């Protein structure tokens, strides 16, 4: 008898994975000791693992599955496109129908003053494109000294050198000598953790004015752009006070600094508007996108460029020495066009704004009644819970930061719901197709998970 695991078994895939696969954002040694979960199938708002468990995908994969899993129309559109034209580049005086049609379709749903699109393979490349495009734009206008970017601490803008540098994640900067020069990080609009005694609106103005302070200190003549996520995603679903973004926009305009919204998460309906900028009531000069544009069926991202930048860039920019082999990949464009068609036909953005968004928000916000929850927040279909041992003071747990979040996340997986832990909070961003019954299930599991976590913390003497 052989003791080798069956070729279609969890043990087999785990062994191969442990022997050969290095995972993003993971401690390989710890992961191999624990054994990975093998996801084999997905349908609607559920994913299934190799042990047959059905898990509600409360994170839409990685914030990308707007239209849900298993959509035949998208799969067929990709297959049909690849049969017709598997690949061609868009570098050398060529395009293909999908790239042209998608650029137009994106301009159609983008804010009215934004009508050009540069394609990439994903979000990090889109952010790097902004960094290079904006500096090129200012140089083309005869202002090459305008090169500094302002971004926020605890922002996330991807994992490339540029993206990780613009991002404000300390653990990322700690590896590989980041950030690159020319970036200034300022305060984030995170009232729960950093607002102190200030009211929310007061803190919103304070955080916005930190942007002004940084620009003025560097000299507006040296500052190219401010970049931020309308709602910080990976940083913990941080929904800024309503006055923050309009104030930041005003500050940037007064100083001739471009405004960039990184909408890799917020874009394509997550907030119940097509873009987070629409939700926040601002008009950015550039928008980065990825994820939701294809609902994750094919890697594709890009930059939507507003008319002002596009005009300067086109009129004065000459050659832009930048691009990716898969910029506007035919398969990605076909996936995106089919995905947008579904979003339009099923009115999914409207559904997030007027139906499933409000339905889930009402139930999610009630979770603040749980003894472990200090704040429950959600707009559109993106939300978070702040866990705390003492609601009134918004205190942190005595245990090392992140310990409680991980306990809660592990219970959540076990109970059949994907939530992600950020520090000691839980975050959520389900597909737009979530039904009312599935929303009820999601909230019921979350109550159960909070109860289990609460009991566990007491058992361990952690609260
Ligand atoms: N920007 C934001 C706001 C993101 O959330 C992400 C990914 N989570 C990125 C950029 C990077 O995108 P990608 O992983 O596709 O490179």
Q: How do residues 239-263 score in pLDDT, each as one tens digit?
A: 999 999 999 999 999 999 999 999 9
186/223 Cα distance (integer angstroms): 14
The domain segmentation of the chain, as residue ranges, is: 37-67+350-459, 72-345
- Find the radius of gyration of the CA atoms of the chain: 22
Place of tokens 């994913």: 47
Asked if the domains 37-67+350-459 and 72-345 are classified in one and the same CATH topology, the answer is: no
| Residue 256 Cα distances to 79, 80, 202, angstroms | 46, 46, 25
271/299 Cα distance (integer angstroms): 22
Compute φ and ψ for 74, nearest 5 degrees.
-75, -45
For residue 431 and ligand 1, the question of a CB distance below 6 A is answered with: no
pLDDT score of 444 more than 90: yes
For residue 123 and ligand 1, the question of a CB distance below 6 A is answered with: yes
For residue 289 and ligand 1, the question of a CB distance below 6 A is answered with: no
What is the number of alpha carbons within 13 Å of residue 178 lying toward its C-beta? 21
Q: To the nearest 10°, the Cα dihedral for 147, 152, 157, 163?
A: 40
Residue 6's pLDDT band (cuts 50, 70, 90): confident
Q: What is the pLDDT of residue 8?
A: 83
pLDDT score of 438 more than 60: yes
The secondary structure of the chain in percent helix, strand, coil, rounded to multiples of 5, reads: 45, 15, 40
For residue range 70-80, list pLDDT tens digits in order.
Answer: 999 999 999 99
pLDDT score of 2 more than 60: no
pLDDT score of 51 more than 70: yes
Average pLDDT over residues 41-68: 98
For residue 158 and ligand 1, the question of a CB distance below 6 A is answered with: yes
Q: From the CA of 373, how far away is ligand 1's center (Å)?
A: 28
141/446 Cα distance (integer angstroms): 53
Mean pLDDT of the chain: 97
Q: From the CA of 428, how far away is ligand 1's center (Å)?
A: 16
For residue range 126-178, list pLDDT tens digits in order.
Answer: 999 999 999 999 999 999 999 999 999 999 999 999 999 999 999 999 999 99
CATH of domain 72-345: 3.40.640.10
Q: What is the ipTM of this complex?
A: 0.99
Q: What is the pLDDT of residue 3?
A: 61
pLDDT score of 45 more than 90: yes
Average pLDDT over residues 384-391: 97
pLDDT score of 284 more than 70: yes
Q: What is the pLDDT of residue 251?
A: 99
150/221 Cα distance (integer angstroms): 13
Average pLDDT over residues 88-115: 97
Contacts of 316 (CB under 8 A, 6+ apart): 140, 141
| Minimum CA distance residue for ligand 1 atom 6 | 158
The residue among 75, 125, 442, 85 whose CA lies nearest residue 295 is 75
Residue 344 CA from chain centroid, whole number = 22
Q: Which atom belonging to ligand 1 lies closest to the Cα atom of 233?
A: 5
Residue 81's pLDDT band (cuts 50, 70, 90): very high
**Contact of 435 with 53, CB cutoff 8 Å:** no
For residue range 202-235, list pLDDT tens digits in order.
Answer: 999 999 999 999 999 999 999 999 999 999 999 9
**Cβ atoms within 10 Å, residue 3:** 4
Neighbouring-strand partners of residue 260: 227, 286
For residue range 331-373, list pLDDT tens digits in order.
Answer: 999 999 999 999 999 999 999 999 999 999 999 999 999 999 9
Residue 463's pLDDT band (cuts 50, 70, 90): confident
As assigned by CATH, the class of the 37-67+350-459 domain is alpha beta
Average pLDDT over residues 375-383: 98
Average pLDDT over residues 113-127: 98
For residue 233 and ligand 1, the question of a CB distance below 6 A is answered with: yes
């Amino acid at each position: 008898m052989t003791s080798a695991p069956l070729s279609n078994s969890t043990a087999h895939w785990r062994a191969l994975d442990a022997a050969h696969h290095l995972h993003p954002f993971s401690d390989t040694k710890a992961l191999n000791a624990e054994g990975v979960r093998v996801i084999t199938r997905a349908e609607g708002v559920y994913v299934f693992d190799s042990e047959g468990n059905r898990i509600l995908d409360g994170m839409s994969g990685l914030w990308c599955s707007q239209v849900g899993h298993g959509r035949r129309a998208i799969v067929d559109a990709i297959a049909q496109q690849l049969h017709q034209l598997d690949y061609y580049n868009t570098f050398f005086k060529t395009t293909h129908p999908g790239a042209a049609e998608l650029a137009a379709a994106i301009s159609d749903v983008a804010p009215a003053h934004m009508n050009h699109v540069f394609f990439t393979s994903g979000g990090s490349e889109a952010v790097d494109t902004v960094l290079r495009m904006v500096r090129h734009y200012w140089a083309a206008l005869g202002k090459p000294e305008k090169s500094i970017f302002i971004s926020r601490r605890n922002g996330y803008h991807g994992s490339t050198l540029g993206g990780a540098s613009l991002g404000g994640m300390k653990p990322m900067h700690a590896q590989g000598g980041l950030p690159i020069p020319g970036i200034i990080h300022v305060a984030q609009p995170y009232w729960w953790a950093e607002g102190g005694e200030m009211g929310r609106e007061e803190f919103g103005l304070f955080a916005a004015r930190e942007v002004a302070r940084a620009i003025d200190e560097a000299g507006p003549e040296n500052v190219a752009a401010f970049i931020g996520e309308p709602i910080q995603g990976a940083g913990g679903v941080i929904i800024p006070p309503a006055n923050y973004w309009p104030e930041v926009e005003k500050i940037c305009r007064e100083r001739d600094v471009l405004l960039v919204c990184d909408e890799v998460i917020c874009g394509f309906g997550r907030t119940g508007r097509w873009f987070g900028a629409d939700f926040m009531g601002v008009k950015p000069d550039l928008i980065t996108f990825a994820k939701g544009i294809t609902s994750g069926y094919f890697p594709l991202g890009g930059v939507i460029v507003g008319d002002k930048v596009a005009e300067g860039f086109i009129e004065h920019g000459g050659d832009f020495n930048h691009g990716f082999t898969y910029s506007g990949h035919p398969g990605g464009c076909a996936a995106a066009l089919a995905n947008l068609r579904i979003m339009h036909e099923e009115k999914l953005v409207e559904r997030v704004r007027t139906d499933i968004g409000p339905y889930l928000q009402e139930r999610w916000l009630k979770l603040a009644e749980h003894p472990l929850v200090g704040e429950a927040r959600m707009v559109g279909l993106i939300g978070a819970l702040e866990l705390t041992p003492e609601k009134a003071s918004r205190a942190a747990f005595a245990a090392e930061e992140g310990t409680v979040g991980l306990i809660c996340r592990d219970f959540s997986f076990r109970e059949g719901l994907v939530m992600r832990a950020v520090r000691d909070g839980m975050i959520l961003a389900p597909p737009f197709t979530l039904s009312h019954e599935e929303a009820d299930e999601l909230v019921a599991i979350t109550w159960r998970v909070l109860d289990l976590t609460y009991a566990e913390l007491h058992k361990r003497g952690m609260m």
